[in-house]
Chain A
């Protein structure tokens, strides 16, 4: 079965992710990330590059071939790390019901 995030036990991993969104992670954080990044294609968050190496917009995958990617233009980022943190919070909320600040 896939890992179920426990917000009390796993809360301590959030800071580790925030410090280093991309790169080596502890086994426990990696387990949490596998859960957050898993799931079906439909609705999955992706980034769309709007200015090369400078700006990215959050988007969602339609889950079907041929259908447009849905852009969320209010969520614009100037670094990939910033985007990773934003999506982490969105997914954490969806999995645990908890807001992260």
Chain B
């Protein structure tokens, strides 16, 4: 089990800026810390080995560790207010769509203080609606005795009337089914006079004495309302009408409208006291509400039909740990990938690497005297995979891989510690898809040394650590590049790219917002030269949160390789209102940006490329200078070849420029490499590597009208071949030939 782990408050910073590091140590033992520059994070003895270079900074030293914990689970908090504590009768109502109703205890809404047994709480106990009441000495629990079903809407209501000495509960399904007994309406004697303590009102959770939140609820809630009298049964339906009838409005304490302020963490109260609320840990918004009727598929068209929030007991935004140390980046610190290396002093062989990126200075200073090439750090894609649990949760993962799943110690930890939050590939504990990912938590697969279950046989690297194969080659070649990140691109647009003649991508730059994609296209339109050194790039459309840094959203709409599917009617991002899903389904296939688009995937072994006639065109003579081989990349640390994992191909029907030259194409893939699902409208039995012409990677080049050019390798495994034979091989030679020509100022002519 992991003894020490941590995170930084940001993934990227510029010289002069300060990064804070949060660390948790089991048993609160002392530890040491040091900053390292990450050159090569692959420990595979068949390759160059680890290259983590210590950097002397003020961080170097010993620290007293402490245990810190993440508190996952989303909820809504309404700050305590005198009006929230009616001293007499009240009614609470909400529409609910529970997803795990059978759990022991889930809190829907209330002001409950367990330590003093005081207040009130509407809960679901093993499927039954229940009202918990306390007067500070004793408590009373009333429950319906009927179990609710999962993923069905219910009107839930509770009221107390101290004057009459009565308490009522209503659990009414909006859709009745014959032989399904899930409806209840009961009235009982009120045994006590509830005394509500001055605590915050919480939705979808209850506070423990140590302020942690427990009893999380899984499912949707819609239109929670509080009245200061006991409503009659026949008034309940009207409580959900908007505008609310005047007779009810006069008794209103609060009515929270989840259909407003959807891109934010704020919840608007329609009531007379302005009791606006805050959402914690990013529950899913822009969710279809109880009254959604299919009339609108986009929440911005009829926000009143998207009045639901889906809460999950494993949502997480920001761990909120105390900082242990901070680093103000020295002005002369080279741009690059770094980590705070922390390890226990007591010889327990426990360590962690907290990865961060140093970008060029902001503003005009960052545009003077810089290298002419930059590596675009795919932080959005790193976030998408952050703490991926697919190998732990997906039944079919081994069959997909074609080999046994290999777990690292960090994977064993993730299996047991779900509180570190999920990846955009995961499902929540209730089976619903994870649509948000945040940077403010330990991300155990954004680390040097980490071998992923997903990387092919061999080094087994994926995303960040696979990208270090490129960092290492650049270092070996003595080529200095700036490191700029996706979130910088989102914030600054094309101006971030303009100082550079060449941009290099990582092995799998999969996730892009419209602003990021627009910026890349604009820069290419200005004559930029792009080296796309991976595959399955510019695939998913994402949205960045408008005010929370380092938070992204994906809606897995329509099709594509999907580990979960967005619900129909929930295809539009809550952060932006934009349509989600594949860029291909958004009218901008990756072919439009990099000439190639995702075509096939598989995770057992990689293969090689064979040169195509296009490689002999004089336009690309510079690429093959010193390369006489017909076969390219029949070696490598990732699956044993340069063409593997995920493969892209050229296709003019999908937007590949007509002047693109296919230089080489991969072949001889195994039958575990399959055509991607968005290519398959009708199932045929020839979709595998040995049968389908779509199972291939194309190595490609094209010039752009403004004198720039794009070089695309169409394979995630490409960079894993760079170091073969002491960096003397045709993959490295081709990559170097392209980079050196791209760095030269002479324009490419059309």
Contact = CB atoms under 8 A, between A and B. Distances in A.
Contacts of A67: 415-416
Interface residues of B, number: 32
Interface in A1-45: 21-25, 27, 30, 33-34, 37-41, 44-45
A22 B451 contact: no
B232 interface: no
B604 interface: yes
Interface of A: 21-25, 27, 30, 33-34, 37-41, 44-49, 52-53, 56, 59, 61, 65-69, 80, 83-84, 87
Contacts of B285: none
B670 A53 contact: no
B418 A66 contact: yes
B736 interface: no
B468 to A, nearest CB: 15
A47 B444 CA distance: 18
B334 to A, nearest CB: 28
Contact of B398 (A24, A44, A48, A68): A44
B304 interface: no
A46 B449 CA distance: 20
A22 B407 contact: no
Contacts of A22: 402-403, 457, 604-605
Contact of A24 (B395, B406, B429, B671): B671
B620 interface: no
Contact of B399 (A23, A37, A53, A65): A37
Nearest to A61: B392
Contacts of B392: 61, 65
B407 A46 contact: yes
A23 B401 CA distance: 10
Interface in B374-409: 392-393, 395-396, 398-399, 402-409
Interface in B151-206: none
B393 A47 contact: no
Contacts of B670: 23-25
Contact of A84 (B396, B403, B605): B403
A42 B399 CA distance: 15
B260 interface: no
Contacts of A80: 403-404, 406, 457
A30 to B, nearest CB: 6
Interface of B: 43-46, 392-393, 395-396, 398-399, 402-409, 412, 415-416, 418, 429, 449, 451, 457, 604-605, 670-671, 689-690
Given A33-B402, A53-B43, A83-B404, 12 more contacts: A24-B689, A27-B671, A37-B399, A39-B395, A41-B393, A46-B405, A47-B406, A48-B407, A49-B451, A66-B418, A69-B412, A80-B403
Contacts of B395: 39-41, 44
A72 B670 CA distance: 31
Among B403, B408, B418, find the residue whose CB has the most chain A CB atoms closer than 10 A: B403
Nearest to A63: B395
Contacts, number: 86
Contact of A45 (B396, B402, B404, B416): B404
B404 A46 contact: yes
Given A22-B605, A53-B43, A68-B416, A47 B407 contact: yes
A53 B449 CA distance: 11
Given A41-B395, A65-B418, A49 B604 contact: no
B43 A52 contact: yes
16 contacts: A21-B403, A22-B605, A25-B670, A25-B671, A37-B399, A38-B399, A41-B393, A45-B404, A46-B406, A47-B405, A49-B406, A53-B46, A66-B418, A69-B412, A80-B406, A80-B457
The 10 closest A-B CB pairs, nearest first, are A24-B670, A37-B399, A46-B405, A47-B406, A37-B398, A41-B395, A48-B407, A22-B403, A52-B43, A47-B404
Contacts of A44: 395, 398
A68 to B, nearest CB: 6
Contact of B416 (A24, A47, A66): A66
Contact of A48 (B402, B412, B418, B671): B412
A56 B415 CA distance: 18
Contacts of A53: 43-46, 451
A13 B338 CA distance: 49
A69 B392 CA distance: 10
Contacts of B46: 53
A66 B407 CA distance: 15
Contacts of B671: 24-25, 27, 30
Given A34-B399, A38-B399, A44-B398, A65 B406 contact: no
A52 to B, nearest CB: 5
Contacts of B429: 65
A21 B405 CA distance: 14
Given A45-B404, A53-B44, A23 B415 contact: no
Contacts of B407: 46-49, 59, 69
A76 to B, nearest CB: 14
A23 B429 CA distance: 34
Contact of A65 (B393, B404, B604, B689): B393
B26 to A, nearest CB: 16
A63 to B, nearest CB: 9
Contacts of B396: 38
B462 to A, nearest CB: 15
Contacts of A69: 407, 412, 415
Contact of A52 (B393, B399, B451): B451
